[in-house]
Every structure is written in C-alpha cells, then in structure tokens.
Amino acid sequence: MTAPRAVASEEMVEVVIEEIGARGDGIARHEGTPVFVAFTVPGDRVRARLGEAREQGRAAELLGVLEPGPGRRPPACPHFGTCGGCALQHVNDDTYRAWKRELIVTALPRRGLGAPSSDQLLCGGPGTRRRASLKGRGVEDRAALGFYERASRRVVDVARCPLLVPGLEALIAPLRGLLHELLGAGETAEIEIAMAANGADVIVRSEGALTLARRTRLAGFAHARDLARLSWQTKRDPVPEPVAERRAPEIDLAGVPALLPPGAFLQPSGEGQAHLIDLVSAACGESARIADLFAGCGTFALPLSRTARVHAVEGDAAMASAMRTAAARARPGLRLGVEVRDLERRPLAAAELRAYDAVIFDPPRPGAKRQAAEIAKSPVPLVVAVSCNPATFARDARVLCDGGYRIERVTPLDQFLWSPHVELVAVFRRPGD
C-alpha cells in the first residue's frame, strides 16, 4: 500500500479498529461515535484524521498504522491504497472470507428473517477476472489508463492489475498507447475489456466522433492485437458500433457456446460462472418446466434447456437474440423459448408462473421487488434466487417468505475479489414440496 498522503493535523485521533463494515472500511469508536477508516483490519491501532459525517458516524483518513492487527497482510498490488479498484488487499484470507460470508448471513436478520443455513464461501483467486472497465484521460505527452482514485475522479495510471486474466492485463499498456493517439489533453474515455473464449472484446466509449482516421487506427489496433472485436460508443449511441469484428466473441455455458453482443453482461470470471451454473442446475434438479427471469445471454437457460423446457425472459433485445441464436446452433437442439420483456415494468404475473415447476431470477443490483411479489403469490414449488446485492436480496427474500416460501440454503460466491461486493445463490421452497 502506498504511504498515506500528508494532511492537516487537526482532529487527529488514535483508535482501535473493531470490525470491517459493509463498504470494506474498518470501523472504530471514538467518544461513542463510529469512525470509518479505509485500509484497516480488526485489531489495528491507527492514527487517523476525522473527516465529514457519514451514516451515524464520521469518515476518517488513515495517517498510519501504529500496531497492526492479526488479520493484516501485505497487499498484492503496488497501486493499492491509491487505486480505487480494490478495497481489501491488505486483509488476510481467513479474515476476508469470514467477512464476506458474514455480509450475507447478517443481511436476512435485518429483514426479520432467521439466519440461513449457509455454505462456505466459494472464492476465486487473483488473475481470474475476465472483464473490467478502465478509465482513460489524455495528458500533454501521454495518456493515463487505469481506475479512479478512491473517492475521486482522478485516473490512477496502472502498470498492472493482479485481478485480471493475463490476456487482459497484457492489453493495458497497448491500450494506453492507443488512447495517446486518440485523445487530446484533458479528453476522457472509458474502455470496457472482456475476455471471451475466442479472444478479447473491447469497447472504447468517448465523446469524440468516430472519424475515418480513428476508425482506421482502431481497425489496425484490433488486427495487431488479434482482438475478437473492437467497438466505439458515444453517449449519443444507444449501442456500441463494432469497428472491427474479426470473429464473433463467444463464451462457453456448460458446453453450450453463446454469442456476446457488444456490451452484453458477462459474469466476472469463468470459474464463478461455472459455480453459478452448477449451483442453479443442482437446485433445479429434475424440474421439467423452468422460467429463467432476467436471463441475460442464457447463463442458466441454455444449459438447463438440454434437459428441461425453459422459458427465458430478458429485457435486452440483443441478449435475447443471442440466446435464440445459440439455441438454434446447438446440436442436439435445445428446448428453449425466449421472450423480450422488461420485468421491472411488467413482471411475470402469478397466473403466468403457474405453468412452471421452478423459477430462477437473477436481477441487477436493485433487485426484483415487483417480480418477487408476483412469485410470492404464485404456487411455484421451487425458486432459485441469484443476487449480487445482499441488501436487495434480503428485501426480496422477505417478500417471498411472507408469501409462504422458506429459505432452504444460501451459498455465497465471491467473483469480486478484494471488493465489498459478494454474490449468492439461494434456494426457496414451499413447505410440503
């Protein structure tokens, strides 16, 4: 971790960190008030500068660790502490895993539900992230490319990122050179990178027009780096425009190849994706009729439709089309129906859900409040929830349990190493089923 920045000396305190909070900051108490200190672990005695009010306490800036706690370790990345991409590289494995699991275990009691039967955390390692969003800025004689500094819009220029799969990490330096040619001083861009099974998929998002010169330079870069696809997008463009598609990016979904539209959602790691498919498939068991809601490109729908009849519902037309294409190409054929539908505005009603033995729902971070309410009114015997937000999951779980379901098991999964984010798969059943 880089050395803490020099700051003014007023309102400095010495405190002992008691726990790690939901955002990944250490929490201490000063005169009875919670103090939130980033980059600390339980047992650390630290010197910190009190800052602005936060929640029911005060934020504080770490000035130095006077005595380290037992859960501390050296970070894996030289940019840690400045780069805002990671929050918890300084925490050892045992402390980190226990904390992440606790994020899920404690979320349900806050909604008045009992602590669930919870499996051990499934945790990926460094070098497994296959997608990232990099921030770029042109400066006088070069371009900076990396991630925002914590609580700032300043771009931290990174030389490497131990989270990324090697093929993506190797693209950082060449992409920085590309931005130097594309951006003037002060101009910004965001580069979304993803590693498909057959090569890297890159989207450059910028306010600049896609001129002929830029198009030519981008196509040459895609060829030189053997990218699967390179696209350009401005705020005015509803979808990215492929500039060079040398081959359509594909992912493998438990033996079913699926195409990725530009900008489509992709699970952060291949290992995590495989865990999710295994967990959901095992939960569905021998269910013959399955509804897969918020289905994406078919992470669950495609493999499950080899043995069950699956109705996949997805609001994004491009991702729904990718599912249809994958199903049509599969041999032997898949029993998959695909519907384009905005489930936030028009959830599947309880009467529609009566046709299914099992329902899977995997919503974005805000959760699926309206859809959960319809499921709760339905007679579906089995519900499998996949979530990347314990708080909204707990809210939706409360709705399901109020409707008569019980939580059978929760499995936590960490695809966002060294961050405060955690995923889960939860199984709900109606008593007697």
Per-residue pLDDT of the chain (433 residues; tens, 9 = 90+): 444 444 444 799 999 999 999 999 999 999 999 999 999 999 999 999 999 999 889 999 999 999 999 999 999 999 999 999 999 999 999 999 999 999 988 899 989 988 777 788 999 899 999 999 999 999 988 999 999 998 899 999 999 999 999 999 999 999 999 999 999 899 999 999 999 999 999 999 998 889 999 999 999 999 999 999 999 999 889 999 999 999 999 999 999 999 999 999 999 999 999 999 999 999 999 999 999 999 999 999 999 999 999 999 999 999 999 999 999 999 888 999 999 999 999 999 999 999 999 999 999 999 999 999 999 999 999 999 999 999 999 999 999 999 999 999 999 999 999 999 999 999 999 997 6
Question: Catalytic positions, please?
Answer: 388
Asked if 368 and 293 touch (Cβ cutoff 8 Å), the reply is yes
Question: Can you give the C-alpha Rg of the chain in angstroms?
Answer: 23
Cβ contact 17:28 at 8 Å? yes
Cα(142)–Cα(24) distance, integer angstroms? 33
Q: Alpha helix locations (H) across 194-295?
A: 212-224, 270-284
Question: pTM to 2 decimals?
Answer: 0.93
Strands 382-387 and 358-361: parallel
Separation CA 147–CA 169 (nearest Å): 13
218: left (phi over 0), alpha (psi -120 to 50) or beta: alpha
